[in-house]
């Protein structure tokens, strides 16, 4: 699709380029903040973590928002106020963003979680290191003065909010796309329990489907309030929505870890007599929580109070974020006459089409590296020769 036709089809795509955002998804975060105030400066002091951040539009929104908050706070306090950190994490290489620390790593790796904590607690650039040194003017005799014991190291600061707008490459098979997206969301939730402070928030993209109640139930184990929202900048034809989780707390007795212990895999609990969980990520839950037909007891099932509690645990609010009378993501807006077609704010650094361009310009050189063969094989898998007729149609009289 050409730039001019896409500008006409998608008003948020055109608006994002005009305002300097790398992707139209920036307005989804802005609309969620407008409705739910998820970026409240009173709640965000340490920083935010943007998982699956490429190309970086959400990181741009965070950096701009924190910078404006810092400017206002500095003017009110008449002294420099440090801005919250923004840490962008992605498996791919990202172009630098002003005010954003970029971590290239896998969100399923413990090393990535450790690096996020390190970046959040790193000293400000140019800040003088603090040191304590005892300088006594009077001399003291021998062993009469014992040096005080060193203070215990402070607990590392953790993020106030974790966001994830990542999605797998869409295959066109909706069930598979939903399955992969749900596993990506669970991976984001898993690393969140390591890097998020108590009381923090978590926002992630999800595809609504049959497994949506499972994701909500999983999130409610760690967050007091869970809502599913859809910004107006998200197309109505898309099953995309966002799960907004607030007031984080670890379940009693739960110890986060990336690797499951030997006792957690393939063994049975002799006292309880039930299979142990295959992953330590899932805290213990009542057996009836996963069976809609079961309940602790028949008397409890007949109780109106129990019925209300179970209903409130299943039914979650689905909210619209943004001005419903504003711009429509599914509407085609004409461009102004003579308006220039804007170039993308930040072209991708590792775009797949670069392989094809390199193959066309220097096919012999690329063929020697095997990249051309791989690209042609991928094209053959996606576009089988037998499926295309000579007239370019789908066949038939």
Q: Just list the catalytic residues.
A: 205
Residues 342 and 18 sit within 8 Å (Cβ to Cβ) = yes
Q: Which helix (H) or strand (E) holds 13?
A: helix 11-19
Query: What is d(CA 328, CA 330) in angstroms, rounded to the nearest whole number?
Result: 5
What's phi and psi for 371, nearest 5 deg? -70, -40
What's phi and psi for 35, nearest 5 deg? -90, -40
Residues 296 and 8 sit within 8 Å (Cβ to Cβ) = no
What's phi and psi for 263, nearest 5 deg? -75, -10
Q: Which residue has the tokens 């212990």?
A: 261
* Closest C-alpha to 310, from 320, 331, 295: 295
Query: What is d(CA 39, CA 201) in angstroms, rounded to the nearest whole number?
Result: 9
Give the CA count within 13 Å in the CB-facing half-sphere of 107: 28
Tokens (6 digits) for 280: 């330590």
- Ramachandran category for residue 370: left, alpha or beta (phi over 0 → left; psi -120 to 50 → alpha): left
3-state secondary structure of 364: helix
Flag whether 58 is marked binding.
yes
Flag whether 165 is marked binding.
yes
Q: Which helix (H) or strand (E) holds 223?
A: strand 223-231
Across-strand partners of 275?
268
Supply the angle between the helices 212-220 and 304-314 in degrees, to the nearest 10.
Answer: 110
Query: What is d(CA 374, CA 354) in angstroms, rounded to the nearest whole number?
Result: 13
Instruction: Write out the binding residues for S-adenosyl-L-methionine.
Output: 56, 58, 90, 106, 165
Indicate the annotated binding residues: 56, 58, 90, 106, 165
């Amino acid at each position: 699709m050409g730039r001019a036709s896409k500008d006409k089809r998608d008003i948020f795509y055109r608006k994002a380029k005009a305002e300097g955002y790398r992707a139209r998804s920036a307005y989804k975060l802005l609309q969620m903040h407008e409705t739910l105030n998820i970026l409240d400066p009173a709640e965000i002091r340490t920083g935010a973590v943007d998982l699956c951040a490429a190309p970086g539009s959400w990181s741009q929104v965070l950096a701009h928002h924190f910078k404006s908050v810092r400017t206002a706070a500095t003017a009110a306090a008449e002294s420099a106020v440090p801005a919250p950190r923004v840490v962008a994490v992605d498996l791919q290489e990202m172009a630098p963003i002003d005010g954003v620390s970029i971590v290239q790593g896998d969100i399923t790796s413990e090393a990535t979680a450790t690096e996020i904590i390190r970046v959040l607690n790193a000293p400000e650039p140019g800040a003088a290191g603090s040191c304590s040194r005892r300088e006594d003017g009077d001399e003291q005799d021998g062993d009469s003065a014992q040096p005080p014991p060193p203070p215990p190291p402070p607990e590392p600061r953790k993020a106030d909010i974790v966001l994830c707008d990542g999605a797998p490459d869409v295959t066109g098979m909706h069930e598979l796309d939903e399955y992969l997206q749900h596993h990506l969301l669970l991976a984001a939730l898993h690393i969140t329990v390591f890097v998020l402070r108590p009381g923090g928030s978590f926002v992630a993209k999800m595809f609504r489907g049959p497994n949506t109640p499972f994701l909500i139930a999983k999130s409610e184990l760690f967050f007091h309030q869970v809502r599913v929202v859809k910004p107006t900048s998200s197309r109505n034809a898309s099953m995309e929505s966002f799960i907004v989780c607030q007031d984080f707390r670890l379940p009693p007795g739960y110890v986060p870890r990336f690797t499951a212990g030997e006792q957690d895999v393939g063994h049975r609990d002799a006292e309880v007599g039930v299979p142990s969980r295959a992953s330590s990520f899932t805290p213990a839950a009542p057996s009836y929580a996963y069976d809609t037909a079961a309940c602790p007891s028949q008397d409890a099932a007949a109780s109106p109070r129990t019925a209300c509690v179970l209903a409130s645990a299943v039914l979650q609010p689905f909210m619209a974020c943004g001005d419903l009378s504003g711009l429509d993501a599914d509407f085609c807006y004409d461009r102004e006459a003579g308006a220039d077609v804007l170039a993308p704010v930040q072209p991708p650094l590792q775009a797949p089409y670069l392989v094809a361009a390199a193959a066309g310009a220097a096919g012999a050189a690329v063929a020697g590296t095997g990249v051309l063969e791989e690209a042609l094989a991928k094209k053959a898998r996606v576009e089988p020769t037998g499926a295309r007729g000579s007239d370019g149609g789908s066949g038939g009289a």
